[in-house]
Structure 1
Amino acid sequence: MQTAETRKKSTLVRIVTARLNRSLLLLPMLVSLTGLVCAILVIGGGQHLEQAARLVFPAPDIQTVRSVLSTIAGSALTVLSLVYSLTLVVFTLAAGNISPRLLTRFAEDALIQTTAGVLAATFFYSVIVLQRADSVPPALTTGVAVLWSIGSISVLIVFIHKVATRITIDEEIGRIGASLSGYIEEILEEAEEEGAEAEAPKIDGYRPDGEIRQLIAKRSGYIEAVDLGALVVAAAKHDLFVEVEATPGAFIVEGCALASYVGQPGTGQEEQNAYAALRRAFLVGRQRTPEADLDFSILLMVEIAQRALSPGVNDSFTAIAVIDHLSAAFARILRRRPPSPLYRDEDGQPRVWLETAVIGRLLDTAYHPLRREAAGNITVALRLVASLRRLAQVCRPEYCNDLAGHVRLIAEDIRAARCNAEDREAVLSDCRNVLETLGATDG
């Protein structure tokens, strides 16, 4: 069992941070402001550093200062336009060749945003100092401008290398797999070693007697996150037991239930305050986000594999790369104790029932569509079975039945597929080996 305080980081904080990271405005503007600050410092206090600057940089005449600053400002603006153009080209290629849902991942790339910010900072510095070229210290002014230009070119080189790798599908699959593993670490908590229950709790044993009421949604959209801490606090304050029905990733329609609860939050204004506090714990948006929704990243990987296995593409090795990285992410989940959906308040009273991750459902999300797309593709079917074998070697006993179910479905599909007997027997033999590892029988 868990308490809201045991969560290492607020889900809502992660969601808000991720939204800011995806903005192509915030970080570039913050970095570009350093150019403005640098220009103010050079204009205001540069005379004190002029002698030191002349030890490194020559002291040019006023015409040279203006020429250098004008050239750097014009070049920075031109290259800034090129950076955004290249970014849009990469976005377009990735959306067409890999998945359109990768656009949000590219938008949050810190290097792309930093490159734009550094170039803008170089432009701002040069333009602002150029206006005061008659009164600024020449050696320091041009020296700092040269340093800004060197930094801009250096960042640009790294940027070009980065965007070249972003359209490499195997590289991007690896990044998504690593991100999925990171989200698993953040969303799922290690089960308590001391005092943990031997079996997963059942809600009927904790839901108090009383009329079950519903918390109704006021708007439609995807549940991006549930603020568990706020939900527990609100439930404790009004003596409620809340069962969350709209979990992260679900699409909710206005008028449908976000959650059900047992208890009377009060009457009149007190009741309205309780409803408002409970609703504020649900972050509703226009699109799904991966920070609190494990299904999102899994489905993104599955989509890449499905596009690769489509008749127009027929790229089995991309699908194999997806399967391999998904198995690595699932291995992190299957090594863990099933996360308890029960959360208590500070006094130890059961307050919230929230199923953060149902392991069997997550496996179904990945393996059912991959198995269907791989029907008749012996190469991919063999890799699917191999991935299940890897998971069978590291999973906890309570997950063996889920894995065995997917192995049996693959075997059934292969028996029904039109393929030669040797290929069929190769897949079936691997399936039997996995079932033996799981301690199951071949049904």
Structure 2
Amino acid sequence: MKSHPVFLILRAQFWFIPGVYGLMSILFAIFSIYLDFTFHFNWLPNALLVNLALAQTLLSTIVSSLLTMTTISFSTIMVVLTTYLSQFSPRTMQDFITDVYTQRILGVFIGGFVYSLVLLLLLRDSNHEQLFISPTVAVLYAIICVGYFVFFVHHVGRWIQVSNLIHHITRSTIESIHENYEEAEDQPADEPWKDWESEDVKLVDPYHIHSYVSGYLLVVELDELIKQAKDDDVIVKIEVGVGDYIEVGTIILSIWGERDKIDPSDYVKKLHVAEERATIQDIDFGLTKLVEISLRALSPGINDPNTAISGIRALARILTVLARKNLHRSYYNDSYQSLRVIVKQRQFKDYLYKCYYQIRQPGTEDVSVLAAIIDSLQTIAAQNDQQVKETIWEFSKYIQEGIKKEEMLDLDRTYLNEKLQKLAIQTNQGSHFIPM
């Protein structure tokens, strides 16, 4: 089931899961103290019952301990973020912050702290001498928090490894592709509405809607936009792309139809803008992070070609999936097959260029990185149709143009020629292959 865009935006916020845990802990603390004050547990052994003074001491100890663990966890998170900032890319920091396990661990710590603190507040003037539920749950919660703290140390140890970061970015980007793009074979090659309606609207001046805020376009509620356009009997063109930075006053929508029926707020609220980019519908952002990790690894200060190779292989995995999607669909119609929304889409070759054009220049200085680029193109071509294969082969010529052949040693040239020959065979261009 497809999640609502508003929920996805909330879920991406760092405070969301810890806030939910904190709120639930307050309610659970009130419920626990209600059970203790309502029911009598005289039938239990005295060893399991706790008097008021001992309960307050116990809860005070738990509160201070959980606060310490929470402080250490936040300090550890800052260390990880500093490492990401200096070693990988500033844009990768949100991957660790928005990770569900990171937020859940902090949520457990905050929930335990809030639960014990609320109990202390409710028990301070109590005349109830024997308690069972509240202190027992607090002790069990503290034990669970210790287990989560051990898990958090292990979790940080994994996330500090660049291979795990690359895997996470790749997986989330591929999931976003599957969520937002349809398979190419599921859609007809010809878009019938492109023949007349899209050309017909060019003869009429549209009504422009401007942005009221500045920020990155995170999510477009396409289904809701189609529904609104159907209700108003208009055609809407989205003038900006997901991931673009929008300034106040920028034209974001063009609408063809009766202006008296149009309420701009009905359309603007379908486009969600935020201060930071996120890989919800923004496929480019995931690709950008992998490119930046690879570039940082190839910088003279770090000089880690193996990390760059891992990033290039991850890009190949994403592009392999992306090439099988219907990237060319720009026209969306309603249930009556009337054109309602027009969006600007890029072709596969645009994504291909975006992924490699920055890596190409420093990559040509290292034979292993250059070979990884050629291998990645071969991987993409192997799992796609002839049209993609031809695009890959044409793009490989661009890569070859940047190679300094006159400065290359014989063994390196032979090694790369073997790679290029395999790519030519894979793209059905073996007869056109000319060794360097």
Shorter chain as denominator, the TM-score bin is 0.7 to 0.9
Distance 2:272 2:111 in 1: 35
- Residues 1:189 and 2:178 aligned together: no
Contact 1:308 1:319 (C-alpha < 8 Å) held by counterparts: yes
Q: What is aligned with 1:162?
A: 155
Cα distance, 1:211 vs structure 2: 1.7
Q: What is aligned with 2:23?
A: 33
Q: What is aligned with 2:371?
A: 382
Cα distance, 1:312 vs structure 2: 1.2
- Residues 1:252 and 2:243 aligned together: no
Task: Deviation per CA, 1:299-342: give whole Å up to 9, x if none.
Answer: 11101101111111111011111111111122212234545222
- Residues 1:227 and 2:221 aligned together: yes
Distance 2:390 2:118 in 1: 68
Distance 1:259 1:201 in 2: 23
Distance 1:85 1:153 in 2: 17
Aligned residues: 425
Alignment counterpart, residue 59 of structure 1, candidates 36, 45, 49? 49
Task: Deviation per CA, 1:388-440: give whole Å up to 9, x if none.
Answer: 11111101222122211221122222244622122123213311321222123
Which piece of structure 1 moves more, 145-154 or 422-431?
422-431
Q: What is aligned with 2:235?
A: 241
Alignment counterpart, residue 145 of structure 2, candidates 127, 141, 152? 152
Q: Is the alpha carbon distance of 1:51 and 1:224 closer, same or farther for their aligned partners in structure 2, counting shifts above 3 Å?
A: same
Which piece of structure 1 moves more, 73-82 or 139-148?
139-148
Distance 1:295 1:245 in 2: 17
Q: Is the alpha carbon distance of 1:189 and 1:438 closer, same or farther for their aligned partners in structure 2, counting shifts above 3 Å?
A: same
Which piece of structure 1 moves more, 143-152 or 426-435?
426-435
Which letter maps to 2:234? L
Distance 2:153 2:100 in 1: 14
Q: What is aligned with 1:347?
A: 336
Distance 1:26 1:337 in 2: 34
User: What's the RMSD between the two structures over aligned residues?
Assistant: 2.7
Contact 2:18 2:108 (C-alpha < 8 Å) held by counterparts: yes
Which ranges of 4 or more aligned residues in structure 1 deviate by more than 6 Å? none
Q: What is aligned with 1:198?
A: 189
Alignment counterpart, residue 313 of structure 1, candidates 302, 305, 322? 302
Alignment counterpart, residue 266 of structure 1, candidates 247, 255, 259? 259
Q: Is the alpha carbon distance of 1:350 and 1:65 closer, same or farther for their aligned partners in structure 2, counting shifts above 3 Å?
A: closer
Gaps of at least 5 residues in structure 2 are none
Which letter maps to 2:183? E
The 3-state SS of whatever aligns with 1:258 is strand
- Residues 1:121 and 2:111 aligned together: yes
Which piece of structure 1 moves more, 312-321 or 86-95?
86-95
- Residues 1:408 and 2:402 aligned together: no
Distance 2:79 2:362 in 1: 30
Cα distance, 1:53 vs structure 2: 5.8
Provide the TM-score with structure 1 as the length reference: 0.87
Task: Deviation per CA, 1:12-67: give whole Å up to 9, x if none.
Answer: x33x3333223333321321233333332332222637357649x63345543333
The 3-state SS of whatever aligns with 2:340 is strand
The 3-state SS of whatever aligns with 1:414 is coil
The 3-state SS of whatever aligns with 2:237 is strand
Name the % identity: 25
The 3-state SS of whatever aligns with 1:348 is coil
Task: Deviation per CA, 1:159-213: give whole Å up to 9, x if none.
Answer: 11112211111111111111111111111112454xx433567845441422243
Contact 1:201 1:340 (C-alpha < 8 Å) held by counterparts: no
Contact 1:22 1:105 (C-alpha < 8 Å) held by counterparts: no
Provide the TM-score with structure 2 as the length reference: 0.88
